Structure 1
């Protein structure tokens, strides 16, 4: 998993960011609906998911704090790229604690190339929490993206009963370069 104990994202509400994202960046970062749906439209229906890795691992401290569990808690960690027209537009990291995931029966480990976002937004039992933004530490990105200087990222928590899934989405340079996201 993309891991670094010495680097922590500084997640916060958009209104606390200084400097703030540009209007275009803000529009995408604060998208309240399904990012999967919007990316599908922006890519002329050429959206896909490229799984990187997934499995049980210790969650990062910022993830434990957001999920309100003790530091060092174990959870399921899924890392993928979201592609538009064959380009890696978004790096996504989704996590859920082991006890909550096992008790819920939600098959996070069975997604493969399917979008987690599609499932979360198609299940009305999931409630989405507030969006938080940050300049994502490059050290936490997959090795092939680490040259990216702190890209914009967002995260939110999706809850269904005792299950909470924390979803972070990092907007990579290729996304903004594609220029079709107005």
Structure 2
């Protein structure tokens, strides 16, 4: 497991100076990112799975899920593509202990977006959004760079909590004409 870098997940009210409106709109939009990317790409949205399976969760993930450090969980990493370009790297995790009865549903997602499941099931409630400059060591080598903005939130349904982190890649900002570093 990669050592924890020095970073903090923060709510919109904790980020100072305030973020540019275009960036804040993407980081703190409470709607479905899948639906937003599908609309932006004129229906040319796709999911490319990178990794999926059981592994030790990172310390920040364990804390967010309320489980002991080093707990094992289900991890899914994907690219969310618009027009065949990776626009977002997403990492979704859930603690093994909470997955009883839900694991088969998550394991069968394949190229389907997790957001489709989370936003179509009214039993899931979304927690607060948080943002950070995502640690490059935790990104796939093909998109690894300093300073990329990411966000995360936890979706709850009964005893199940699914933590979803989404890292916005430069290709999305370029397509939108947004400079994420213009503070």
TM-score (norm 1): 0.93
Within 5 A, what are the aligned runs for 1:1-150?
3-7=1-5, 9-104=7-102, 107-146=105-144, 148-150=145-147
Q: How many residues align?
A: 178
Q: CA deviation at 1:8?
A: 5.2
Q: Distance in 2 between matches of 1:124 and 1:170?
A: 25
Q: Which moved more, 1:4-13 or 1:79-88?
A: 4-13
Contact 1:8 1:62 in 2 (8 A): no
Q: State the Cα deviation string for residues 152-177 of structure 1 (Å, max 9, x = none).
A: 11100000000000000000001101
Q: CA RMSD in A?
A: 1.5
Deviation at residue 77 of structure 1 after TM alignment: 0.3
Specify which of 149, 152, 173 is matched with residue 149 of structure 2: 152
Q: Is the 8 A contact 1:128 1:159 kept in 2?
A: yes
Give 4+ residue runs of structure 1 displaced > 6 Å after superposition.
Answer: none
Contact persistence 2:88–2:169 (CA under 8 A): yes
Cα 1:22–1:112, aligned 2, differ >3 Å: closer, same or farther? same
Is 1:161 the counterpart of 2:158 in the alignment? yes
